Structure 1
Amino acid sequence: MEYSCIGLNDLPDEILMIIFKKLNNFDILYSFQGVNQRLNKIIQDPIFTSHLNFVKWLSHNFIDLICCDMILNRFCLQILPSIHHKIQWLDLESSSMKYVLKAVDYPNLHTLGLYNINEESARCLFTDKNLSSGIFKDQITTLFVTIDHNNETELTIIIICNYILTVFTSLICLTLYESSYKHRVLLWFDDPPLPTFRSSTLLKLNISVQCIEDCLYLLDGHFNQLHTLYIDIIDIYHQDEIQNQGDLPNLKCFSLSCESKTLAYNTTILPLLNRMSNLEELSLYLAVYVNETFIDGNHLKKNIINRMPRLNQFRFYIRSIKFIRNQIYCPSTEDIQQTFIDFRNNQIISYVDYLPEARQGRCHIYSYPSFMPYYGDITNHFPGGLFEYVRAVSLCDDSF
């Protein structure tokens, strides 16, 4: 049989589209833009041009795909000018973000991801008059920001947040988190927030904070249109200084996670949830010390579900811990599971560990499939399963 060689141009458009969909849009545009008219037409399809990601996630941090001046110049001078009107979403790293944003006009850009920024890069970018008075102010409705932890302080986080809320006046969705999971970046208010720390347009906020007080500050009217709040808290303790106790009628979706164990479930968390009578989606990922009984299905129905008539989705992982003083009645896994027999829309898993040496009982209850970020105190009673979103795990035994 005579040897034949099939080149890229010999393949039909449909096959090329299938191949290109398997590749990164960054690589496709850099490799094929300008090769010939046919390839230009294919790679300028909205599939490859509406969302450009110039950032790559490695094992513990983000890196810039624009790693040299040659790549930067090719994008800024040749590629972006030919597709700028098709771009709706850009993900950029701090070292090259200003060059890319100023290379061309982006008339349809509405979503922006800024990675590894610090106070200096934020100030440089957000005080640029052309950008701040143009696409930042009028176009960007969704913003993702990861903050580089190197030498950054809690004050720096507040400064960056103030920049964002001042400059992005059309912002609807904001996600703010750390560049590396190894270094937590937390919003923390030493005093009540400044009057400028507010937004009348923000509907969705995803953020990490230091303590429950910071969460309450965010819900004291600074974001009065907020309907979705995803919040991760380092420490939850009893508070009685924050006075905002009014209802939160606009809040429709709330997610609260905390890796640390808390004594303030009854005094702080339940009163906060009771302000959210119009909630439709709720996620709780908590470790709670209890005095008498474990948190089970009966407790959730009485204290949360029955108080939220519009709730239609409830995801949770709650680990309740109690010290065993009286062993007359210690509920079994079957006893706890029975309290979930009439739960709707969820598969509920529960199990109980009793640790005689530590004189502790631990009850794990969670909805499945799981979205929990933390899974603590795993013993050999762990029932198994797939946990795609867990980022922190702790193990224990009877001598713990």
Structure 2
Amino acid sequence: MNMKHSLIQLIDLPDEILILIFKTLNNVDLLYSLMGINVKLTQFIRDPIFTNRLTLFRYSSNDLIYPLDNTILDRFCLQILPEIHHKIKWLNVEPLSMERILLITNYSNLHGLGLYNIEDETFRRLFAGKKYDDSSIHQNLEEKLPSLTSFSLTCDTDMSFYWELIVPLIHRMLNLEELTLYIELSSFKIFIDGNNLKENIIYHLSRLNKFVFNILSIMHLYMKPYLPTNEEIEHTFANFTTNKIISSVDYFPRRQ
């Protein structure tokens, strides 16, 4: 009875007040709690203010990422996302649920995609491997991606598939305007410096106007070649004139 009374009170509020209240809430919680509960509220929360950008995971108190509860995820995949798929312009997803979320429907107006802690096998299935005949988004992911104007990739473990999969994927984003890379790379041959970013990323993206990156590049120097100094690494970023780039180079002897 109290819940019904609270719902009536909520419905009776002016639209301006509802917007102020709902904008203080998490969009995922809002959609999960109110979608389908009442015609007016359902129509109200389908507004682009609440559906444009969805982050479909949680942060713990120490900023670790973890998936939505199964009950919430099931409802989003079975009901909410198929209903609002055409309204979603940006999705942020995590590894345990991203495959299900990205393949559940066709996000025809998706312009931004954030991948967090994606794993090698998941990436291969989504972007470079197994076919999903019943999903039009997978076909889009395997080909050119002209609709994506923003892409964010965050991973706190070594991305061994960066050169094989990530770089070619970015090259397919022909109209990319904003790119964010927070990644860790380990290599025996290549150190990621300014020259490398220009040759493999920037020169391939003619519309790119914002590039935010924090890259930990680890190189195993078994052959003991010439070791560049931090100043030499910084010099490779000389043409990055908009903002100052901070670099730090450390060398650690191999354990005997």
Structure with greater helix percent = 2
Deviations 1:290-333 (CA, angstroms, capped at 9, x unpaired) = 22120111111111100000111111011111212111312221
Give ranges in structure 2 of 5+ residues lacking alignment. Answer: 132-140
Give ranges in structure 1 of 5+ residues lacking alignment. Answer: 1-68, 92-110, 144-170, 360-400
1:201 counterpart residue number: 87
2:195 & 2:104 partners in 1: Cα distance? 31
Cα deviation for residue 80 of structure 1 reads 9.3
1:185 and 2:66 equivalent?
Answer: yes
1:227 and 2:111 equivalent?
Answer: yes
1:250 & 1:115 partners in 2: Cα distance? 23
| Two-structure CA RMSD over aligned residues (Å) | 3.8
Please say if residues 34 and 41 of structure 2, whose CA atoms lie closer than 8 Å, have aligned partners that are also in contact: no
Please say if residues 248 and 276 of structure 1, whose CA atoms lie closer than 8 Å, have aligned partners that are also in contact: yes
- TM-score when scaled to structure 2? 0.73
1:296 & 1:220 partners in 2: Cα distance? 38
Larger radius of gyration: 1
Deviations 1:206-236 (CA, angstroms, capped at 9, x unpaired) = 333338x739x73898212111223322534
1:332 & 1:324 partners in 2: Cα distance? 14
1:197 & 1:351 partners in 2: Cα distance? 43
2:25 counterpart residue number: 113
- TM-score when scaled to structure 1? 0.49
Q: What SS does the corresponding residue of 1:257 show, helix, strand or coil?
A: strand
Tell which has more relative contact order, 1 or 2 (C-alpha 8 A, sep 6+): 2
Q: What SS does the corresponding residue of 1:340 show, helix, strand or coil?
A: coil
1:357 & 1:222 partners in 2: Cα distance? 49
Q: Structure 1 residues 126 and 297, CA, compared in 2 at 3 Å: closer, same or farther?
A: same
What is the correspondence of 1:1-400 to structure 2 with a 5 Å cutoff? 84-87=14-17, 88-91=19-22, 111=23, 113-114=25-26, 122=32, 125-128=34-37, 130=38, 133-138=39-44, 139-143=46-50, 171-178=51-58, 180-182=60-62, 184-186=65-67, 198=82, 199-210=85-96, 214=99, 218=102, 222-236=106-120, 239=124, 240-242=128-130, 244-358=141-255
Identity across the alignment (%)? 31
2:27 & 2:88 partners in 1: Cα distance? 21
Deviations 1:124-171 (CA, angstroms, capped at 9, x unpaired) = 74442x2xx33323543233xxxxxxxxxxxxxxxxxxxxxxxxxxx3
Q: Structure 1 residues 315 and 219, CA, compared in 2 at 3 Å: closer, same or farther?
A: farther
Structure with greater strand percent = 1
Letter in 1 for 2:116: D
Letter in 2 for 1:177: F
Please say if residues 89 and 112 of structure 2, whose CA atoms lie closer than 8 Å, have aligned partners that are also in contact: yes
